[in-house]
Structure 1
């Protein structure tokens, strides 16, 4: 069985009895077996000294049984207190333990959702007929719907809500199960049921508010094949909307059952024409989804329907789904579920956009995407639903890696991978509880991928995508000089090490292929709970015998991070690239020493901010062309480099080359030669003339930290300095820009890695976990 590193972030095990704690996820290093809730409690008492838990439920998923608990104090059942012990259903071995524990004071005001709702249901309508002796039976009928929406089917982005929709936009489906009583058919079967909300205590004040859009129960004596006419909605004739919601929910629930998740004990209820707000909502406690009718009728768009069903799936798997990052994760899951459904039949037209129809007929300024490559997770920041964090909609931060994995998996493995990825995601979510963070959820999904499809590369795809958005990170980040000055085939290298796991590290060890030195740090809680904390280690590197100035080579490292001796140590493989000697540039970088523009807070909207943008110009008279070996110099000081995007535009044309894109750089000074040989983005400039005015643009999308552009430039590399002249050449050609990092290996300031992943430490290939 192939095993991979399960994600880089393992928590400390300890006593959880009194203090409130963030969520934690644990993968036991030694086999532990559990066959009942009582045994799970015993394990928790022994392993965590955790007592006083109350049984919540025992649930099952594809491969696992989840023993769920909450803390035994007042109102705990109403808050997000959760402990989930996930056990392999066949072997009874504990797979993972999830905990989110709260102080009793945090739950004092928590209340369960006991809001009343008054529904008009099919049963109420046909009940007297059944009582009179008429049979209730399931029959099949035909339905006429948009699948998924007219804009997507017609591939016409000019289409508007008020337009008459051509027949080509409709899909007619037969053999759809509905209920028939006394010759009248109702949109109801064992999976889904159309209802009409007559009144609902939406605000929780105990009073029922009547629904202004009561349309009654939709029926038919034959088929449900009416076409949409938005004028009908004004008269509360909503058969098309009810048909849309019924069909798409029913189809999706059947697909979910096909995946192996039969999680709804009752039919999913919906009201396709609720209220006059441009919003739709899933209510788990009341088992009903309501679709708004604001600027447009939400139920005309299958993406909206399936997004809300995604919430119901999520809530059914984890009933205590609140707090932590659950708001953003839940919205991202809903967006993924809608996009995943559409991707099965449409892989070419706007696959990375959700709500293509409703999103352009709305009071909102934009719809959502599932390819937000610039979205980054920032530990310690709150992630409720529908807000902007660090410049990106948080819903997109979660949906993007999920959907991009789906596309990559299908492209590589074909259509069967589609079901595989859908299974993996819901299996991972099923093992969680309240208060979950994005890193927790990511770890659980990676674990599910390993268990469900151990011979595939799905877990690797998830790790790569989660890492790209900083949801998963390495335990430790290394930073080293970019250029080595060697004597007698050796070079001393000072490494800056940052603990970026967000947890206390018990021991950390690094072994290097080209060095006899071992980096070893142990039992030091001060090693780096704070992202700004840093340790340094010096090693002597042996260069290849054939190494010449200008040659590049990598220093390969294997590391072991142990958070606690009861958990699986995290093993990592790192590749640290170097260049021998320092480059000689044909143009000295331009000194700016200019304050950058910080982002500023804004009112309203998505709780976002106005980005700060500042541009810089560099005019060169050199008619030389950028050849096979050139470099972009970039020297920036900023306390939070992840706030920044830096782009470069050449004198001719409108190409904008990305040099830096919100990277998780821990150092506060970035000073790099971005060399064309190693940087694909920079290499796109090959063949450009140096002559003319170059534009460097620095964008800051997060409020609160400012910085400075020290210097920048672009030049061909005419050669490389030898060790004995390195100091003079570096100062002359790089404007003192590397704070000694390129000439003495100090590693201070901006001597971070650079070219293989745009100035960050490169983590290569797979990360593997120890086998017990």
Structure 2
């Protein structure tokens, strides 16, 4: 994060963070698209689109919300039109707003100059006051008239400049807030004079580890590589006055950041065949792969998307990092450690960011865009790499096989099958969230579905998959959440390739990671079960989670082994509404007590998106009355750290009664705690056997409450599988370590639980297995009373003397 001027800090908290809405529609082509969109949303939009794009599925128009003819910062609406002009999807974050004051007018234009005069001219660069525009700044439900000033901030000691939109009061007396400028999407530099030429260049087609299939190979500054690590390729360059320059219609090597490094050129057409130890090799390799990536997107059917050549600086400062600057349209590639331009995946990854910014220049980094951007760019780099047989056989899931090996960072992977999405978190880039790297959470299902598609359809699936993932970005905007983009991606796959199973493969992959919630949710009512051979009606609780009114045309039970039933349900559900479906069932007499059978439910829904009209949900129906062992632990204050070196460690215990039960996959630990900075906490669980599991390791959270069950709702930092087979009974220890001083927290309660059996006798009441906490150890604790302990053991004693029916 770049340093901030203290005078500007107040502006960062005022921007809206409410979720945007994704809506599929069925509509004939309106006479006036903007007017129709205004009627749908109940707001006023700009007369002309702020920008528009042409994709494979049609035309995409992006409007700004406005009031009194003046745009409102951060609020937009996009409509997707097919080739006949029919709307089929809306995306917007508009709100019904009222302004207490009229917009800034010409009489107050000097207010912009008055504000800029208060800032350090060596740090800030502004356009003239004549470029200031009247806008509204939004702070919650309040709209304040403002001048929008476009500014560039260049802090001393920071090689990177930041491009801001500053919103100041009409008289220039105060800064209301700021946001990043929209991305630049068109080349501004004039083409070089001269003529196009082709030279033979030596490059890394793949990173050396992959090319040589050598897992022991690591970069060193004096590393000499075998000729097999290189490939000689034709390279299109520009010839100016008998000098060959790394410049062309798709890429251009520049010196854009410190240190000053003159881009490589040669008066000899044979001068482009260098070894990686020579600094100019980085310019050649980076240029080649950026040009190749541009050609790839053009070949997919997007010839004008990227707006001309992108710049690349392969010596971008003293940093072990690379980035894409969306305002300068420049890839800035680091040289510290492994020179990033040696790793082709780095170039393709940063190019992935460029693709997104050219489709959606106003995407920003709110919502989940941070992790989405990293995951998509990882996918694009890995998709390109997978086209090589060597890469398919060697570390196929690793991102940056060459660069990340000695950089001190853990290489990202595209096979993080443990990652699960949690709707209560936001997902910025590069952070561990809910037990996994958020970038991997988005990249893994994309890559999983790609590999399955290639296995099913062959190499043709590679281009088709890249195409549908690029097309899925069109018609969106700021504040996108992963489940929204997952729904759009599945829908796009089905629209672009209706004869392929790409949509199904993506849907399966997204659902595995909890990224694609169904429009309707269903759960068995509490304490639902069937005995073998029993006839009984069970209650199924339905919840509309589509965010809009929902019509269930039919809900039915699909045929399944061991269950008979023929119940149906239909009805209307309001947005977020609930209903109860009573379903008569009969269990087969040969079902085993204690097993769970699948209850497959199918819903026919009246929704515009074809991918949402039919939904299947599989519920787990217990056979026999479940018997649980559980204990609830007391909470308490979480000790604050005294300093960064002297941490605050809090311990809480509870005890499960003696039994022969062993821990299995049904084991859960539930936490409910609050802390002002969850990213400061380390949380461990220690079993009675002594195995210590990290549940939370300073994970990022966008709120202050951590509530849920591991591993069903929350993903532990370390898998609970390490506990499998250990005794369940005994003393459990929960440790919470606060690593930074100055913040407070409270553990409300916690519990551990596991189903340990089932009861199928109709004459015996189920023992009460609830555990009342009686003891406290250090931070707090819980245990079972002797009476409850006896009740918990009673089913086992009873089964020894009673024949099973």
Q: Same fold (TM over 0.5)?
A: yes
1:26 paired with 2:26, answer no
* Corresponding residue SS for 1:455: coil
Kept in 1: contact 2:573–2:579 (CA 8 A)? no
- Shift of the 711–290 alpha-carbon distance from structure 1 to 2, 3 Å rule, reads closer
1:153 corresponds, among 208, 211, 216, to: 211
Once superposed, what is the RMSD of the aligned Cα atoms? 5.2
Q: 2:86: which partner in 1?
A: 93
Q: 2:232: which partner in 1?
A: 173
* CA positional deviation for 1:186: 1.0
* CA positional deviation for 1:488: 8.1
TM alignment of 1:154-553, pairs within 5 A: 154=212, 155-168=214-227, 170-197=229-256, 211-223=258-270, 224-229=272-277, 238-262=279-303, 263-322=305-364, 323-345=366-388, 346-362=391-407, 364-480=408-524, 484-486=529-531, 489-501=534-546, 503-506=547-550, 511-513=555-557, 522=572, 524=574, 527=577, 537=580, 539-544=582-587, 546=589, 548=591, 550=593, 553=597
* Corresponding residue SS for 1:240: helix
* Larger RCO, structures 1/2 (Cα 8 Å, 6+ apart): 1
- Shift of the 620–194 alpha-carbon distance from structure 1 to 2, 3 Å rule, reads same
- Shift of the 100–124 alpha-carbon distance from structure 1 to 2, 3 Å rule, reads closer
Alpha-carbon displacement from aligned partner over 1:733-769 (angstroms, at most 9, x marks no partner): 998789x9xxxxxxxxxxxxxxxxxxxxxxxxxxxxx
Q: 2:137: which partner in 1?
A: 105
Distance (Å, rounded) in 1 between the aligned partners of 2:536 and 2:242: 88
- Shift of the 633–324 alpha-carbon distance from structure 1 to 2, 3 Å rule, reads closer
Gaps of 5+ in 2: 1-15, 98-135, 140-145, 155-159, 162-187, 558-563, 674-680, 695-705, 713-719, 739-744, 771-786, 796-805
Kept in 1: contact 2:196–2:237 (CA 8 A)? yes
Using the size of structure 2 for normalisation, the TM-score is 0.67
1:140 corresponds, among 184, 198, 207, to: 198
- Shift of the 705–326 alpha-carbon distance from structure 1 to 2, 3 Å rule, reads farther
- Shift of the 428–705 alpha-carbon distance from structure 1 to 2, 3 Å rule, reads farther
Kept in 1: contact 2:65–2:75 (CA 8 A)? yes
Kept in 2: contact 1:141–1:177 (CA 8 A)? yes
- Shift of the 321–667 alpha-carbon distance from structure 1 to 2, 3 Å rule, reads closer
Kept in 2: contact 1:278–1:295 (CA 8 A)? yes
* Corresponding residue SS for 1:373: coil
1:724 paired with 2:756, answer no
* CA positional deviation for 1:365: 3.2
* CA positional deviation for 1:472: 1.6
* CA positional deviation for 1:308: 1.1
- Shift of the 344–539 alpha-carbon distance from structure 1 to 2, 3 Å rule, reads same
- Shift of the 654–320 alpha-carbon distance from structure 1 to 2, 3 Å rule, reads closer
Kept in 1: contact 2:43–2:65 (CA 8 A)? no
* Corresponding residue SS for 2:51: strand
- Shift of the 437–737 alpha-carbon distance from structure 1 to 2, 3 Å rule, reads farther
Gaps of 5+ in 1: 1-18, 131-135, 200-210, 233-237, 528-534, 657-665, 673-680, 741-772
- Shift of the 668–734 alpha-carbon distance from structure 1 to 2, 3 Å rule, reads farther
Kept in 1: contact 2:72–2:138 (CA 8 A)? no
Distance (Å, rounded) in 2 between the aligned partners of 1:443 and 1:644: 34
Distance (Å, rounded) in 1 between the aligned partners of 2:549 and 2:708: 23
Kept in 2: contact 1:273–1:291 (CA 8 A)? yes
- Shift of the 125–293 alpha-carbon distance from structure 1 to 2, 3 Å rule, reads farther
Alpha-carbon displacement from aligned partner over 1:478-499 (angstroms, at most 9, x marks no partner): 3326863459842232444455
* CA positional deviation for 1:462: 1.4
* CA positional deviation for 1:695: 12
Distance (Å, rounded) in 2 between the aligned partners of 1:572 and 1:603: 53
* CA positional deviation for 1:386: 2.5
How many equivalent pairs are there?
643
Distance (Å, rounded) in 1 between the aligned partners of 2:288 and 2:668: 57
TM alignment of 1:563-574, pairs within 5 A: 570-574=613-617
Distance (Å, rounded) in 2 between the aligned partners of 1:632 and 1:124: 60
- Shift of the 92–509 alpha-carbon distance from structure 1 to 2, 3 Å rule, reads closer
- Shift of the 591–441 alpha-carbon distance from structure 1 to 2, 3 Å rule, reads closer
- Shift of the 336–272 alpha-carbon distance from structure 1 to 2, 3 Å rule, reads same
* CA positional deviation for 1:252: 1.3
Q: 1:676: which partner in 2?
A: none
Kept in 1: contact 2:600–2:616 (CA 8 A)? yes
Distance (Å, rounded) in 1 between the aligned partners of 2:575 and 2:243: 70
Distance (Å, rounded) in 1 between the aligned partners of 2:791 and 2:688: 25
Kept in 1: contact 2:203–2:233 (CA 8 A)? no
Kept in 2: contact 1:581–1:723 (CA 8 A)? no
Distance (Å, rounded) in 2 between the aligned partners of 1:728 and 1:579: 17
Which shows bigger deviation, 541-550 or 631-640? 631-640
- Shift of the 520–648 alpha-carbon distance from structure 1 to 2, 3 Å rule, reads farther
- Shift of the 149–635 alpha-carbon distance from structure 1 to 2, 3 Å rule, reads closer
* Corresponding residue SS for 1:347: helix
Kept in 2: contact 1:671–1:737 (CA 8 A)? no
- Shift of the 349–181 alpha-carbon distance from structure 1 to 2, 3 Å rule, reads same
Kept in 2: contact 1:22–1:101 (CA 8 A)? no
